[in-house]
Amino acid sequence: MKPQVLIGAVNSGSGKTTLTVGLLRALKKRGLQVQPFKCGPDYIDTQYHTIAADRDSINLDAWMASRQHVQFVYNRYAENADVCVTEGVMGLFDGYRRMQGSSAEMARLLNVPVVLVVNARATAYSVAPVLYGFKHFRPAPKIVGVIFNQVSSPAHYACLKEACAEAGLESLGYLPAEDSFRLPSRHLGLTVVAKKAMDELAERIACKVESHIDIDKLLNLCTRPFPCAYSLPYTQDVPVDTVRSRFPKMRIAVARDSAFSFIYRENLDRLREMGGSLTFFSPLYSKELPDADLIYLPGGYPELFSRQLHRRKPLMKQLYDYIEKGGKVLAECGGMMMLSRSVATQKGTVYEMAGALPLTCTMEDAHLHLGYRCAEYRGLVLKGHEFHYSSVVSPEALPSVAALYDAKGNRVATPLYRYKNVIAGYTHWYWGETDLLRLWE
C-alpha cells in the first residue's frame, strides 16, 4: 500500500502543472521519496516535475505504448517510491478519440484515484453541478477530492467548499490567486538560469500548498494497493538477452543540454537494456564527439541556440564525417535541424549547421505542428509525437522513406528521412517496447 494520485482537471489551463509542481516539492520537503509521472507525450512538464521532486519524471502514454507496458513502466519506477504523483493531460476525459488516451483512462488503467483541479477564478457556487457531473459521468475513475485554483479569498473558498459538499466530493483545499505562480513559457528552453528560477518557483508554490491544502487527508484518501495489476493477457517486451546478443558492448552517444532536452527516460533505459553503454555530450559545449556506434540526437530548442551551434564548427565537422563514413544516427526534430544545411530564425537570419542532410530549415512564418504519429519502416511499427514550429524548405530534396499517420489513421505530411545510416524526421519516437536497433539491420 502506498499513496498514489492522478492530478486531473475540468479543462486545460486549470492549474494541473502548478499544483503538481508544488505538491511534489511539498512532499519532498517532508522527506518522502516521491515519483512523478506525466500522462501523454509532454517533454516540458516532466522537466518541471524533475526539478521539483529531484527525481526523473516518467511519461505514461496509452497510445504510444500498450496497456501492459504502461503498467510495467509505472510499477518499475514507482517501486522504490513512498508516494506516486501522476499529472494528467488536458481535461480529465479528453483523449485523442473521445476518452481513449485520456487521464481518466490512465487512472483506470493504473487503478489510482483522481484529485480534480478546478480553476475558480470566475466561478463560485455554480461549480457544484460541474463537479457533480464529473463525479457521476463514469463510475471509474474514482474522484476522491477537489482542489481549487485561483481562489481570491477565504470567503470565496468557503463558497466553493459548500458547492463541493453539495456535489458529494471532499474539498482538500486551494491555491490562492497569485500572478507570481506563472510557469515559464514552454518555448524558452530550460537553461541553467531557467532551472534555478523553476526551482525557486517550486519552493514558493510548495509553501502555499502546505498552508492551504490538507496534504495528510490527500495522502490518506489516495492510499491504494501497489503494484497495480497487469491487464490480461500479459505480454512481455522484446527479450532483452536476444537484443544484447546481437549488439554486444554497443557505445551510444546521446546529445543532452539546454538545446536538446526532449528525451523520454524510458527510451534511455531501453537503450541500456539493449546492451548500450550511454555517454552524454553537449552540442553546445562539448569539444569532441564521443566515440560511438550509434548517436542519438533528440529534439529540443536548437532554434534558440542557432548562433551558438553555428559556432561549434569542429563538432559539426565531426558529425558530418561520422555520417559520411556510415555511422548510425537517430535524429529527432531539433537533432534533424542540427544535421541540416542551415536554420533560418524568425527574423530571417541564416545559420549554417552540420550540412549532413540535404535539407534547410526555417522558423520564418512558423506555426505549430502537433499530434501523434505512426509509421511502419523495415517491419517495425513506430509510434511517437510531433511538436515543432519550424519547417523544411524544399522537402523534396530528400524523399520520405515511409508514410506517417495520425492517431485516427489519417495520413499526414510529416516525413521520415533516411540518408546513409541516418534516420531523421520531426517525430519524437517512443521505443520503450520496440527493438529500435532493427532499423539499421
φ, ψ of residue 146 to 5 degrees: the values are -130, 140
Give the orientation angle of helix 16-29 with respect to helix 45-53, to 10 degrees.
20
Spatial separation of the C-alpha atoms in residues 352 and 308, rounded to whole Å: 11
For the CA atoms of 272, 433, 68, 104, what is the dihedral angle to 10 degrees? Answer: 100
Active site residue 84: no
What is each CA distance from 297 to 36, 144, 270, 294, in whole angstroms? Answer: 25, 42, 16, 10
Residue 111's region, left for phi above 0, alpha for psi from -120 to 50, else beta, is: left
Question: Looking at this protein, which amino acid is placed at residue 407?
Answer: A
What is the DSSP code string of 136-174? Answer: HH-S-SPEEEEEEEEE--HHHHHHHHHHHHHTT--EEEE
Spatial separation of the C-alpha atoms in residues 321 and 314, rounded to whole Å: 11
Rg (the chain; Cα; Å): 23
What is each CA distance from 361 to 47, 223, 309, 314, 323, in whole angstroms? Answer: 26, 49, 14, 21, 19
Spatial separation of the C-alpha atoms in residues 333 and 330, rounded to whole Å: 10
Q: Which single residue is written with the C-alpha cell 528521412?
A: 417
Cα 104–Cα 124–Cα 163 angle in degrees, nearest 5: 65
Question: Looking at this protein, which amino acid is placed at residue 64?
Answer: M
- Of the candidates 430, 60, 419, 70, which has an alpha carbon nearest to the alpha carbon of residue 271? 430
The catalytically annotated residue of 222, 228, 333, 374 is: 333
Which residues are tagged catalytic? 333
